[in-house]
Structure 1
Amino acid sequence: MISVLFVCLGNICRSPMAEAVLRHRLKARELEDRIKVDSAGTGDWHLGKPPHEGTRGLLERYGISYEGMRARQVLIDDYQTFDYIICMDSANERDVHALFGSRSDLHAKVFKFMDLLPDEASDDVPDPYYTGNFDEVYGLVSKGCENLLERIRREHQL
């Protein structure tokens, strides 16, 4: 099974949004039994909590389930568990690299979400916890998840 982990700061806004959106798309394409999706945060402030109310409201508006999702912190074992570790911003990427140390295949496995959107001006997915702009983040997440799915299908001949 192919596995994807989205990583943001607290695991209540951006990464659970991406997790829910990708799961929704996998289900629509009947690929949920081939690709596992999870999310985690680099910080521990919100452990065990559901996604932020802004994320929940947005997902509900689009009919996307977030059932059972609870914030967790990224673990060193995630390096062995996941094929793709996708960081929502540069700080998250630095933190993940620091946690995992120097490994030969680190750059192939860990990358920034915005690498999936090369035509966008920003290097980072803005954090709606601070900006309040959940719609902007959803737009990026929606396009990026579609591009990720195509990348996975191409790389794994799905």
Structure 2
Amino acid sequence: MIRVLLVCLGNICRSPMAEAVLREQLNRAGMSNYVEVDSAGTGNWHIGQDPHPGTLKILKDHSISATGLKGRQLQPDDFAAFDYILGMDQHNIMDIRLILGQSTHPKICRFLDLTDQAKDVPDPYFTGDFEETYELISKGSAALIGKIKREHNV
């Protein structure tokens, strides 16, 4: 089983949206039996909480299930448990490396670095633009699926 962890600041907007979108895309690609997806936040403010209402709305608008999404905080044990750890922005990457005790490691990267739009995924908690976040996450998810196919012959 290939394990993917998607990480943002609070685990209520971007990373749970990415978790749901990636699961849906994996399901459509017939890969859901090979790849397990989870999400986490670098902060502890939203542990156990449902995703932000804006995230839930955008997922519903695109007919993507939000079942099972609950906020959790990134833990040091996550480094060994996951094959890919993707942060939504550069600040998340710095925090991930601090929390996991890894200054650099190829399994840790910024989510959109896998695309031709290498940039941060803006946080809709602050921008209010959940549609832009959804579009970028959809592109990043497709690129990640391509990477997994190439690296694991799935």
TM-score relative to the length of structure 1: 0.94
Shift of 1:102: 3.6
Matched, 1:41 2:41: yes
1:26-105 map, 5 Å: 26-102=26-102
How far, CA to CA, are the matches of 2:135 and 2:102 in structure 1?
Answer: 33
Paired residue type of 1:51: P
Paired residue type of 2:134: Y
Q: Is the 8 A contact 2:79 2:100 kept in 1?
A: yes
How far, CA to CA, are the matches of 1:124 and 1:22 in structure 2?
Answer: 17
Between 68-77 and 21-30, the greater mean CA deviation after superposition: 21-30
Instruction: Give the match's secondary structure for 1:40.
Output: strand
Unaligned runs of 5+ in 2: none
Paired residue type of 1:144: G
Paired residue type of 2:133: V
**After the TM superposition, which segments of 4 or more aligned residues of structure 1 sit over 6 Å from their partners?**
none
Instruction: Give the match's secondary structure for 1:43.
Output: coil
Q: What is the aligned length?
A: 154
TM-score relative to the length of structure 2: 0.96
Unaligned runs of 5+ in 1: none
Instruction: Give the match's secondary structure for 2:106.
Output: helix
Shift of 1:137: 0.5
Instruction: Give the match's secondary structure for 1:60.
Output: helix
Instruction: Give the match's secondary structure for 1:93.
Output: helix
How far, CA to CA, are the matches of 2:100 and 2:131 in structure 1?
Answer: 32
How far, CA to CA, are the matches of 2:88 and 2:50 in structure 1?
Answer: 18
Shift of 1:54: 0.3
Paired residue type of 2:13: C
Shift of 1:29: 2.0
Q: Percent identity?
A: 51
Deviations 1:14-68 (A, max 9, x none): 0001100010011112211110000000001111011100000000010000101
Paired residue type of 2:147: R
Instruction: Give the match's secondary structure for 1:108.
Output: coil
Shift of 1:114: 1.8
- Hey, what does 2:139 align to over in structure 1? 143
Q: Is the 8 A contact 2:114 2:140 kept in 1?
A: yes
Instruction: Give the match's secondary structure for 1:107.
Output: coil
